Structure 1
């Protein structure tokens, strides 16, 4: 079997890790594999062919569809000795390279067998990407989603599987392929926290990670508690929000450090092992590695639950009942009228960015019902100015602090041991390799027919339900 795995780049990150694991496993089982990306890193452990036309084209003139098609076909054939039996694309439809979706459509029309692995969706609060695609594809977003027996989709969670099924992907062409969980062998001693308890948020501090909620927990800290994030953001668009939180934490003298990896020089495993507990406050994830990796190093993880994501982990046997799905704040702290106004503005901005009609009063009420319960609003739904108001109140008022939980819940050592066993048993590399081989076998056995397209409007509707509104994602 000849397999071409395609992604825009191989820079450090989640998708690159998944590609590396897949290519290693496939080569170990005797498959011919090449990875196609804009650049070929010198130290990548599997064969890579550079296809410069695959690079991100934001702020640049997109390459022609014909040029990218030819470049991919030529590079794959040169590396594999012939056309691939399977083309495995990662996030082909995300709008990072506008020529890639039409190339995938051409391959599907030619009868090529395609696995389209979706990590993220432009419909999922990514209006910039969505609008770029709309303009380039002449409003035809369905072109991103070819539908034929020889085109299969792989997703990371059951939510995305349900959304694609609702848009028309047949069950036999739609596969749940959770990421594998793996950490390198322990390299030296754990980092040593000087004193007290380190609560580590092992993340790059971007907006959807909900950094304000970490400041809230630092405001509620007990003596000896110290909170930290591991990495600073790299995206220039994130810098304004990041600087705001750094400045506020310094102003209020909170027990909170940023960019711990750079400041300490510790490796990721060393940081994790130094922590008393790992924390996540994220409001959106594609897979949710933060809910799995800490257990492998025998560390608990606590914080905000994301039921759409963690439902699969619970189904596999992971014990996560100590996580909280909401962190409720009295609406009166912010005022109902300004809070409602901000909600309506946020929903209007979101719909306008996607070219949708103004939200109706009924849609606004649905969003409000998701935000507010019994006079309390979920802190994670708020934006930075509103979250800052809450944090300042908590910092200055002991009475306000008594209205919230005293601290994050930490699972027992027995739960840590159990979850480690589940993570190793269900999400290890061996199981991932077997799932991938089975998926390829189903794809190769499928007949070939002229492709149709999915219902792109139905997919957009599912992602933009008013109940999913979160201001940090606008």
Structure 2
């Protein structure tokens, strides 16, 4: 097969990692070309062509002509293959990082190019600034998603099974040394500290570590919005003299940090695929923390054991001031509605608030950083407050503790390596590609329905929105 990939850039990140994995998986049996909006920072795994009009919008850049960019794409493809390619695999096309992107894809469709559009992230999932408010999503082409939740959402929003495919990511197992790395008194949260990674919850949990372990967070965020929150957390930790290290991954090899950690933690409130629920087991490490049922469903269906994770960290709403929290929560909803140009009845907001504060408690993951710091400060101020949190959340009495640790690690490692390996991934890619080439589809996405699925008031978190 002749496959052309399109992505805005090839910078280090989640989607670029997946793209690299796909190229690695296919390059022995397929002829591959990658078209990108930015010049790669380092040599890539296959032929690449830089087409600036495919990159992110920049303030200092004038708008390009979508037809001209589409023509540049087809020229690059025909320079590589005289007869053109079998299909074009496009990553994350529904994020408005490039305001002309959907018009470019439409122009490619008009040139009879078969498209496979793989969605990793939805603008409707808490990213209003990346929402295409005017353009419709491409019609009559094949789509791919990375979990069953997104598959069901798009199925309910107008796509047909014939043209909608799940493609679970493959994972890169940790290379285990023959000699065990010396374990340190360290608990590792191996992430780039975006707001949605909910590092405040990991900091709160660190107050309950049994043996005074250090919480290590690996990397800082990139975006200005996330950076402001991150710097404030660093200042808070310093002020309270907490046992937390930031940016551990900048001064230590990542694999070294993983291997010497007692266990790995996750407190994220939203994920696309959920690598963090799979990869630690291949390093023979316990993963402990918050479970995201909609994401973990696929893993558990394949046999990964995650029952030891919690789904809610309960705190008394009185610690926040119930009226104060309601005002902030309602304002967050109204802001999101304004940015997406939709309306939600105030009665529905009041009803949802009563639901999320049932028994005069609330999930810590729904709070913004200011409210989270209030809870942490309360827990620090008196042992009776920490005891109350343990009463609501018995798992806080011994974070990282699981029964029959060796069996859990071995079972999950075997299951992950069996289901999420490169051979399965290659087979799945070929199966999807053959259907994209063979099957004509006639369907479209109702964007309002997609938004209604993601903008759920009972899950509305001030960290995400």
TM-score of the two chains, using structure 2 as the length reference:
0.94
Q: Deviations over 1:298-338 (max 9, x none)?
A: 11101011111000000010000011100000112112221
Q: Decide which moves more: 418-427 or 52-61.
A: 52-61
Measured after TM superposition, the shift of residue 367 of structure 1 is 4.6
| Equivalent position to 2:362, from 377, 385, 397 | 377
Question: Which residue in the other structure is 2:147 paired with?
Answer: 157
Unaligned runs of 5+ in 2: 391-395
Measured after TM superposition, the shift of residue 52 of structure 1 is 1.8
Cα distance in 1 for residues equivalent to 2:181 and 2:247: 15
Give secondary structure in 2 for the equivalent of 1:317: coil
Q: Deviations over 1:250-272 (max 9, x none)?
A: 11111110000113x22x22211
Do the aligned residues in 1 keep the contact of 2:174 with 2:282 (CA within 8 Å)? no
Cα distance in 2 for residues equivalent to 1:232 and 1:179: 24
Question: Which residue in the other structure is 2:76 paired with?
Answer: 75
Distance change in 2, residues 1:27/1:327 (3 Å):
same
Measured after TM superposition, the shift of residue 467 of structure 1 is 2.1
Measured after TM superposition, the shift of residue 232 of structure 1 is 1.1
Do the aligned residues in 2 keep the contact of 1:323 with 1:409 (CA within 8 Å)? no
Pair 1:337 & 2:323 matched? yes
Measured after TM superposition, the shift of residue 219 of structure 1 is 2.1
Unaligned runs of 5+ in 1: none
Question: Which residue in the other structure is 1:35 paired with?
Answer: 34
Q: Deviations over 1:162-202 (max 9, x none)?
A: 11011110011111101101136357977655x5x311000
Measured after TM superposition, the shift of residue 368 of structure 1 is 4.1
Q: Deviations over 1:65-124 (max 9, x none)?
A: 112111211112212333211110001120111211112122234432111000001111
Aligned pairs for 1:61-72 (under 5 A) are 61-72=62-73
Give secondary structure in 2 for the equivalent of 1:472: coil
Cα distance in 1 for residues equivalent to 2:53 and 2:218: 33
Cα distance in 1 for residues equivalent to 2:175 and 2:207: 35
Give secondary structure in 1 for the equivalent of 2:84: coil
TM-score of the two chains, using structure 1 as the length reference:
0.92
Give secondary structure in 2 for the equivalent of 1:6: strand
Q: Decide which moves more: 39-48 or 389-398.
A: 39-48
| Equivalent position to 1:313, from 299, 312, 315 | 299
Give secondary structure in 1 for the equivalent of 2:268: coil
Do the aligned residues in 1 keep the contact of 2:316 with 2:360 (CA within 8 Å)? yes
Question: Which residue in the other structure is 1:6 paired with?
Answer: 6
Pair 1:200 & 2:188 matched? yes
Aligned pairs for 1:50-199 (under 5 A) are 50-59=50-59, 60-130=61-131, 133-134=132-133, 139-140=134-135, 142=136, 144-146=137-139, 148=140, 151-183=141-173, 185-186=175-176, 192=182, 195=184, 197-199=185-187
Distance change in 2, residues 1:94/1:187 (3 Å):
farther
Question: How many pairs does the alignment contain?
Answer: 455
Cα distance in 2 for residues equivalent to 1:110 and 1:440: 19
Give secondary structure in 2 for the equivalent of 1:435: helix
Aligned pairs for 1:413-452 (under 5 A) are 413-447=406-440
Measured after TM superposition, the shift of residue 453 of structure 1 is 3.2
Do the aligned residues in 2 keep the contact of 1:218 with 1:226 (CA within 8 Å)? yes
Question: Which residue in the other structure is 2:397 paired with?
Answer: 406
Pair 1:391 & 2:384 matched? no
Question: Which residue in the other structure is 1:459 paired with?
Answer: 450
Cα distance in 1 for residues equivalent to 2:222 and 2:322: 36
Question: Which residue in the other structure is 2:205 paired with?
Answer: 217
Q: Deviations over 1:404-450 (max 9, x none)?
A: 222324341110110001110001111111000000111111137xx
Measured after TM superposition, the shift of residue 363 of structure 1 is 3.4
Question: Which residue in the other structure is 1:23 paired with?
Answer: 23
Question: Which residue in the other structure is 1:351 paired with?
Answer: 337
Cα RMSD between the aligned structures? 1.8
Measured after TM superposition, the shift of residue 221 of structure 1 is 2.6
Q: Decide which moves more: 77-86 or 278-287.
A: 77-86
Cα distance in 1 for residues equivalent to 2:13 and 2:457: 31
Measured after TM superposition, the shift of residue 460 of structure 1 is 1.4
Question: Which residue in the other structure is 1:299 paired with?
Answer: 285
Cα distance in 1 for residues equivalent to 2:427 and 2:401: 34
Cα distance in 1 for residues equivalent to 2:344 and 2:297: 32
Distance change in 2, residues 1:252/1:221 (3 Å):
farther
Q: Deviations over 1:30-50 (max 9, x none)?
A: x11111112234422222222
